């Protein structure tokens, strides 16, 4: 209970920003916050439109997911804690409107970045845009927050994963291509050109 009380005390009155809330990790995180920490002030959820549906239709039935059934029993007023904002992690300022960005930078204390491209057959260009460039965009917004206390990054399943090794050690492996160079190439090359330039990183 001592540790539990420390968590309760820490989250008292805090405002939290979460990306990737429609994914399994982000959804589980949100359920835990709403069920166990009712003293949280606000939870801001970033959601992007898809070709098949806009942001409004994506969130319309969000809390009907069975994962939230217990939470809704113990926290009847959960919707009062939620603020949805429409945006995209790969855009500057996350594609947020001026009013939403101002609210986030004036109020958010904690960032949980859970959004990522995790398709096993995704293109290299799309993976870099979402997982590397997207993280940079989220971090830039967090740096602009006046009362930021924590930036928590939840890595993708591909972090530090390589093709040839038979075992992975608990260490940070150095990629042969600098991440800043990768970002520059993503902005100037198409996917085929990018694949060609990144031959030495093929094992990654």
- pLDDT digit string, tens, across residues 122-149: 888 888 899 889 999 999 999 999 999 9
Q: Report the pLDDT value the prediction gives residue 175, as an integer from 0 to 100.
A: 74
Q: How many domains does the chain divide into?
A: 2
Same domain, 148 and 166: no
Same domain, 127 and 43: yes
Q: Report the pLDDT value the prediction gives residue 112, as an integer from 0 to 100.
A: 97
Q: Report the pLDDT value the prediction gives residue 177, as an integer from 0 to 100.
A: 81
Give the pLDDT band (50/70/90) at residue 66: very high
Cα pseudo-dihedral 97, 103, 109, 114, rounded to 10: -20
Higher pLDDT pick, 119 / 128: 128
pLDDT at 61 over 90: no
Q: Report the pLDDT value the prediction gives residue 54, as an integer from 0 to 100.
A: 62
Query: CB neighbours (10 Å) of residue 87?
Result: 23
Same domain, 167 and 153: no
Same domain, 10 and 111: yes
Quick one: tokens of 118?
A: 């995790």
Same domain, 80 and 123: yes
User: Could you tell me the residue range of the domain that residue 52 belongs to?
Assistant: 2-159
Give the pLDDT band (50/70/90) at residue 1: very low
CA distance 47 to 88: 7
Q: Report the pLDDT value the prediction gives residue 160, as an integer from 0 to 100.
A: 62
Same domain, 68 and 167: no
Last residue of a domain, one of 159, 177, 194: 159
pTM: 0.86
CA distance 32 to 68: 9
């Amino acid at each position: 209970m001592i540790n539990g009380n420390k968590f309760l005390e820490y989250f008292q009155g805090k405002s939290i920003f979460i990306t990737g809330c429609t994914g399994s990790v982000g959804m589980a995180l949100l359920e835990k916050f709403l069920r166990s920490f009712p003293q949280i002030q606000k939870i801001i959820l970033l959601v992007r439109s898809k070709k098949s549906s806009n942001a409004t239709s994506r969130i319309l039935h969000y809390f009907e997911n069975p994962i939230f059934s217990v939470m809704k029993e113990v926290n009847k007023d959960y919707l009062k804690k939620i603020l949805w904002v429409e945006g995209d992690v790969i855009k500057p300022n996350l594609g947020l409107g001026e009013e939403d960005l101002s609210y986030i930078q004036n109020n958010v204390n904690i960032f949980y970045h859970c959004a990522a491209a995790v398709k096993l057959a995704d293109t290299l260009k799309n993976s870099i845009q979402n997982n590397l460039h997207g993280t940079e965009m989220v971090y830039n917004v967090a740096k602009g927050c006046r009362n930021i206390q924590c930036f928590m990054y939840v890595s993708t399943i591909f972090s530090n994963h390589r093709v040839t090794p038979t075992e992975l050690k608990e260490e940070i492996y150095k990629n042969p291509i600098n991440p800043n160079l990768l970002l520059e190439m993503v902005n100037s090359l198409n996917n085929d050109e990018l694949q060609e330039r990144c031959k030495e990183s093929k094992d990654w």
